Amino acid sequence: MASSNMYSLEPIPGAGLGMVATVFIPRGTQILAEPPLFTLSADFSNPTQLTAAIEAKVRALSSDTQRTAFFALHNNYATDRAISAAAGIVKTNAHPLGVGARECGLFPECSRFNHSCASNSSYTWIAATGKETIFAGKDIPAGQQITVNYLDEHSLLQKRSDRRAAILALFRFGCGCDVCAGTPAEVAASDARRVEIARLDRLIGGGGMLVMVSPARCLDSCKQILQLYMDEGMNDDALFKTYNDAFQICVMHGDLARASAFAALAVTCTGAGGPSLESVRPYVEHPERHAYAGMSQKWRTERRKFRGLDQNGFEKWLWKRADW
């Protein structure tokens, strides 16, 4: 447990145990890649089926070391007499094997990373390796807790009261992360940013018509979302989605130069990892191969590499289409 030289398991005030960086961890670093102790496809809404399936999986563990690692995990359902200890541990710690997956896995070490509503790292299930992987979404200094996000995208963009209610319902603990523990003024500002991000995201994805009719407005919304995410201190998973949206807007309207640039920026969000990252990487060099490419020629450009622009000049060029 916690054998990596990058982190150690330590007491966290108000949050039990958690993983703390023992060295400086640069953004994009793979912190951990762990195979599951076991996987499970049981119906979590059927307690009888769930308990039977879990008990069978625990009995099948091949060593005392594995069983010890399993039963050492926290159980947020320990006071619930209607659920067994093993089932409580699984309900507390199981991870879905990919977004929307019906199958989940039990990962003794990954389960030790605590939640934050503005996490500095992220989970990714890599099906090709059969491992749950954690990437650093930000630079993490030595001595800082390494955190991940337990909520889905919709819940994460809600106000603090709603996020806390979701965390309590799903995991039976009250969120005390830095964002949720802020002053009333800080929480109000954070809530406003998240609500605005959700509104702008709905505007971009609202059926696709606005992207065709007013692409500049949609691209401007991407620009605003990125700034709000950065102000909120949220990590690369969030930035990845928005850069990918900007890529699709540009490629749809024939701007292959900017589409390529936005795809490259999405790829730099290494916290996204795995399939999401690979879904964009080919279009850095070949944006014209995307299914949406050239649906309109409103912004037609050829893909080419731009040189001689400083960061400020590049940003102005990159977002030029966002003027509306």
192: domain CATH number is 1.25.40
Q: Are residues 15 and 147 located together in one domain of the fold?
A: yes
Name the residue among 223, 7, 268, 229 with its Cα closest to residue 119: 229
Report how far apart, in Å, the C-alpha atoms of 81 and of each of 50, 71, 87, 132, 169 are.
15, 17, 11, 31, 17
The CA distance from 175 to 169, in Å, is 11
> What pLDDT does residue 270 have?
62
**In angstroms, rounded to a whole number, what is the distance separating the alpha carbons of residues 150 and 174?**
13
Structure tokens at 27: 């953004």
Q: Which of 171, 204, 230 is the last residue of a domain?
A: 171
What total of structural domains would you count in the chain?
A: 2
| pLDDT recorded at residue 63 | 87
- 98 and 125 belong to one structural domain: yes
Q: Kindly give the pairing relationship between strand 147-148 and strand 114-115.
A: parallel
Q: What is the reported pLDDT for 32?
A: 94
**Cβ–Cβ under 8 Å, residues 107 and 96:** no
Residue 313 in any domain: the answer is yes
Instruction: Report the pLDDT value the prediction gives residue 223, as an integer from 0 to 100.
Output: 96
| Domain encompassing residue 260 | 184-322
Q: Is residue 2 part of a domain?
A: no
Same domain, 161 and 257: no
Helix (H) or strand (E) holding 288: none
Do 12 and 128 belong together in one domain? Answer: yes
226 and 308 both lie in a single domain = yes
Query: Per the domain annotation, does 176 fall within a domain?
Result: no
Same domain assignment for residues 20 and 121: yes
Q: Among candidates 234, 253, 241, which has minimal Cα distance to 200?
A: 241
| Residues 14 and 122 occupy one common structural domain | yes
Output the pTM of the full model: 0.86
Give pLDDT tens digits along the chain (324 positions): 444 689 999 999 888 889 999 999 998 899 999 999 999 986 667 778 888 889 899 999 988 899 999 999 989 888 888 888 998 999 899 988 887 788 999 999 999 999 999 999 988 888 889 999 999 988 999 999 999 999 988 999 999 999 999 999 988 888 999 999 999 999 999 999 999 999 999 999 865 688 888 999 999 999 999 999 999 988 777 788 899 999 999 999 999 999 999 999 998 876 555 666 778 889 999 999 999 998 999 999 887 766 666 888 889 999 999 987
Domain boundary among 171, 200, 222: 171
What's the pLDDT at 1?
46
Statement to judge: residues 166 and 245 lie in one domain: no
Query: Residue 178: how many CA atoms within 13 Å on its side-chain side?
Result: 11
Note whether 237 and 269 are within 8 A (CB). Answer: yes
Which residue, 144, 171, 198, sits at the end of a domain?
171
**How many other CB atoms are found less than 10 A from the CB of residue 283?**
25
pLDDT at residue number 267: 87
Same domain? For 190 and 306 the reply is yes
**Rounded CA separation 62/67 (Å):** 8
In a domain, residue 177? The reply is no
